[in-house]
Structure 1
Amino acid sequence: MRKYVIIRKTEAAVGGANRGIESTSPDRGPSVLYERLTDQAAATLASLPEVKAIAPAMAIKLIRPFQGSSSATGDVWGLQATGASTSGFSGEGVVPAILDTGIDPTHPAFAGVDLEEEDFTGQGNGDVLGHGTHCAGTVFGRDVNGLRIGVARGIKKALIGKVLDNSGSGDTQTLEDGVSWALRRGANIISMSLGFDFPGMVKSWIDDGWPADLAASNALESYRVNLRVLDAVMSLTKPRGGIHGGTLVVAASGNESKREQHPNWRIAASLPAASDEVIAVAAVGRRGEGFVVSDFSNSAALLSGPGVDVISAKTGGGLDTLSGTSMACPHVAGLAALWWEATRRGGRIPTAINVRSALIGSARREGFAGSDAEADIGQGLATAP
């Protein structure tokens, strides 16, 4: 049995075979439903006229970071490079949502922050892996032992959606539920350092005895259907008239490239970063007085953020140094919070559109290695107002 995602053409029930299927977002059309089915039952459902598409729910996974090479008491260079350390804005009044592995709410970096936690994995709140804690620390963490780690330290409320379980895994349903919840709870910005696990989907079919070529075909079909689900969810983040400014979504581009082995061994950003409504973030590090794209960072990003030797909060207390596009993404989410506040204080109503434009328009291109193409760094390093 597998968990299938079903897209219905109408709100009509899908015959008797849909017993137990529940819509996670009844306000959206086409309806997206989930059910654990045998492959045969799924084939039967696919033949019904009410069913627009059906495929296994795509697995999502943590974009696993690398251990940093510098001390956790060293230089928080990303805050200086982006101008966050000297910005006159703090993210006050902005509500971010971190969709990740959860958070350690007892960490001193989050003292005084109203954390609204919601678990979508069935394993309870908290952060066993520490990934979500590290990301949240970069977005809005308070100083720890005199060291500044947070980009937007004026944030007073944050939404923490646990969409990845204690092994770092989830699926389309946990992600959809998390995004829908964040939107209902009024998130201005959503930060996601996770990605679709296409290789894992292929492997699951092979493990079930399918030939490799057919397994890849099945995984591609699942990817196609799940992309439609993701696009439908992301469409809800757009501004709606004058009553809702929309929600800006930022996601890590992924760590699968291998430039250290060959300069051409780079792959494009994975979903959800590759979705049209999402800012895909590449990771850059320091090289002398300038910057260079990280060997692992996926291409086709829109913006870059500091993603090498990033110091932030560690589950259980203290600090840790990690590298990855997972670390670059929350830098840009924090910078978006600064721009959101700056736009409001400038007399304009902040929206996902004008804050996105401000981030892109202020991106820094100087200081990069000449070999770093736009495909690698996007519009450049995101900076603070």
Structure 2
Amino acid sequence: MDRYIILKKPFGSLKSLKRGVGNGELGSASLVIERLPRHAVADLGRDPDVLAISKPMMTKLVRPIQATTAHSITGDAWGIASVNAHLSPYTGAGVKVAVLDTGIDPAHAAFAGINLQQQDFTGEGNGDFDGHGTHCAGTIFGQDVEGQRIGIARGVDHALIGKVIGQNSGNSEMLFQGLQWALSERANIISMSLGFDFPGEVEQNIKAGWPADLATSQALEAFCGNLRLFDALMGMFKTQSIFNAAPLVIAAAGNESRRSIDSTYRIAASLPAAAEGVLSVAAATRPAPLYGIADFSNSLPHLTAPGVDVLSAWPGGEMKSIAGTSMACPHVAGVAALWWERLREMRTPHLAQAVASHLAAHARKGCFSPDFDASDFGHGLVTAPASV
């Protein structure tokens, strides 16, 4: 029997399904992980109480394009000024941010004084074997390190750190459990710099001895099933907006495009960034004097943020500068925390939707080179709220 992820409708019942490992309430809906025979899966697929059902599929980091030590970089991370965070009176105070990634180095000076609520979904234990999660968290809410500012929302004092990618990669079961946990812990903003690994799924099937056409077909079935699951999950999140409990979900668009002279092609934002209700983020280059879009950045994003030479925290107390839409995504999460604080003060209803609307409405388009258009940068460069 294979493992399946099942999402039930609110207050629905799965009479034929026993509760098993990984079960949990997701608002008024239920996310269930079960081992099932194939005939039971077909029966559940016809159950009107089941929103979606699928096998887990492989996930992977949206890997940085380059990684260099940053000892020569002085001053604040350049993205701080680019998104106008240095001019904003808001700090993200009282906003709870969830980072679903490779974990975090809690001992880093950038996280001093912050309540880091860690949860491991990989079975490897807390901590950050890779550095990716530490770097993303540093951009969102990191404190100044030796006089250098790296964090957009330095007033965040409670963060949820879900480890959903381990040394042996990860899968969508870990990711969905992380999303369920973030919602149950009342996260306001969820940041994800990872993607569903369709090529890896095909390769794994081929290594198992499957013919190429069958391996591709099965990977496509898993991809489509997980897309339906993610869309249904985002729908469940949206139903929480009436209680102001819906989180805003933000994801990296992906690094698969190649815009160089030798090899020019663009790939659309990938999952989970492409799912309904998720804000996808492209990567901008440094202004010279206008901003460009990074060669690797996927197209059709909602928003754009600094994603090249981004300075942030690294495990072991280090600082490092790396590039990718993974680095752009936490800029948007940090700015979203600033908007959340402002709109909460104004008693704005449906905060997640309101923050998303303000991020889009206040993004800047005129700062990009004419070589790029809305298919490259979406609504534009994300911008922090100014004084009321």
Shared fold (TM-score, shorter chain, > 0.5): yes
Residues 167-197 of structure 1: per-residue CA shift (max 9 Å, x gap): 4x21111111111111111111000000100
**Which one-letter code corresponds to 1:178 in the other structure?**
G
RMSD after superposition: 2.4
> Counterparts of 1:241 and 1:262 in 2: how far apart (Å)?
47
The CA distance in 1 between the partners of 2:262 and 2:380, in whole Å, is 23
Q: Is the 8 A contact 1:8 1:50 kept in 2?
A: no
1:214-253 matches, within 5 Å, as 214-238=214-238, 240=240, 242-253=242-253
Q: C-alpha displacement at 1:66, in angstroms? A: 2.5
- More deviation, 297-306/50-59: 50-59
> Which blocks of at least 5 consecutive residues in structure 2 are unaligned?
none
Q: For 1:128-157, what per-residue CA distance to the aligned partner results, in whole angstroms no more than 9, with x for missing partners?
A: 101110000000000001100000001111
Return closer, same or farther for 1:314/1:70 CA change in 2, 3 Å cut-off.
closer
Identity within the alignment, % = 48
In the TM superposition, 1:110-189 aligns within 5 A as 110-167=111-168, 169-189=169-189
Write out per-residue CA displacement over residues 269-305 of structure 1, whole angstroms, 9 at most, x where no aligned residue.
1111011111000001124112110111111100001
Residue in structure 1 matched with residue 363 of structure 2 by the alignment: 363
Identify the residue that residue 48 of structure 1 maps to in structure 2: 43
SS of residue in 1 equivalent to 2:170: strand
Q: Aligned partners of 1:230 and 1:86: how far apart in 2?
A: 36
**Structure 1: where are the runs of 5+ without partners?**
none
Contact 1:250 1:333 in 2 (8 A): yes
Structure 2 contact 85–335 (Cα < 8 Å) conserved: yes
Q: Which residue of 2 aligns with 1:205?
A: 205
State which drifts further: 46-55 or 62-71. 46-55
Question: TM-score if structure 2 supplies the norm length?
Answer: 0.90
Distance 1:285 1:30, change over 3 A: same
Q: How does 1:327-346 map to 2 (within 5 A)?
A: 327-346=327-346
Q: Counterparts of 1:252 and 1:34 in 2: how far apart (Å)?
A: 26
**Letter aligned with residue 12 of structure 1:** L
Residue 238 of structure 2 aligns to a residue whose secondary structure is coil
After superposition, where does 1:296-315 map in structure 2 within 5 Å? Answer: 296-315=296-315
Secondary structure of 1:159's aligned partner: strand
Give the C-alpha shift of residue 55 in structure 1. Answer: 4.2
Q: How far apart, CA to CA, are the structure 2 residues paired with 1:309 and 1:327? A: 9
Q: CA deviation at 1:245?
A: 4.4
Seen in structure 2, the aligned counterparts of structure 1 residues 35 and 237 have a Cα distance that, compared at 3 Å, is: closer
Displacement of 1:350 in angstroms is 6.3
Distance in 1 (CA, whole Å) between partners of 2:2 and 2:216 is 17
TM-score normalised over the length of structure 1: 0.91
Whole-angstrom distance in 2 between the partners of 1:261 and 1:79? 30
Give 1:227 deviation, angstroms: 1.3
- Tell whether the 8 Å contact from 2:282 to 2:377 is kept in structure 1 after alignment: yes
For residue 135 of structure 2, what is the amino acid of its counterpart? Answer: H
1:16-66 CA distances to partner (integer Å, 9 max, x unpaired)? xx67844533457885543457xxx43x33443666675431111111112
1:213 CA drift (Å): 1.9
Residue identity opposite 2:167 in structure 1: N
Note if 1:71 corresponds to 2:66: no
- The aligned length equals 377
2:101 alignment counterpart = 100
Give yes or no for the alignment of 1:12 onto 2:14. Answer: yes
Is residue 45–residue 51 contact of structure 1 (8 Å, CA) maintained in 2?
A: no
Residues of 2 paired with 1:381 and 1:121: CA distance? 34
Alignment CA distance shift 1:70-1:36 (3 Å): same
Whether the aligned pair in 2 keeps the contact of 1:363 and 1:383 (CA below 8 Å) is yes
**CA 1:346–1:263: 2 relative to 1, 3 Å:** farther
Deviations 1:230-280 (A, max 9, x none): 122222322636532421111000111111255741111111101111100
Q: Which residue identity lines up with residue 207 of structure 1 in the other structure? A: K
